[in-house]
Amino acid sequence: KERSLILGDLSPKNLGLVSGELRICDLDTAHRGNPIFDIGFFIGHVYLHSLEHEYPAAQYVKEFLRTYHPEDETDAIPPEDDLLLKRIVLGTLLYRLNNKMVPYPLDISEEEKVKVVAEINNLLKSNLLDWETIESQIHYAKSH
């Protein structure tokens, strides 16, 4: 597998824009590894915050993946790693929803969290996941 410098905590709290350029902070978990983890961890936060702010997460994720390597138009994630990426995303959601130490509170109720966590556990059993299904199922679980 491809090895590169990965942050290990690529989440909104560690990103900023300075003069139009992306800056990353909090490098204490940086190490050499497979970039699929950073990509999945970041995408997990896109879905996490969509629970609170109601934006089209699947659309944003597809655009992020499409532009991840704009210089050579290669896939951000090889097709054989697609299911692994989606499971990292779902695992990130479980971690953030079940963790009392999340660095930023989510404006969703405990009851909604329980429903979403149950649906994520169901999604993790599937070998056929797409970005729209993840979005629709977690939002459906939250509201029903």
pLDDT digits (tens, 9 = 90+) for 85-132: 999 999 999 999 988 776 777 888 999 999 999 999 999 999 989 999
What end-to-end distance do the CA atoms of the chain give, in Å?
Answer: 41
The model carries a pTM of: 0.87
Residue 16: both structure tokens together: 């900023």
d(CA 29, CA 36): 15
- Give the tens place of pLDDT for each residue, 41-81: 999 999 999 999 989 999 999 988 888 766 665 666 778 88
**How confident is the model at residue 2, as a pLDDT?**
67
> For residue 17, what is the DSSP state?
E
> What is the rounded average pLDDT of the residues 10-28?
85
> What is the rounded average pLDDT of the residues 23-42?
88
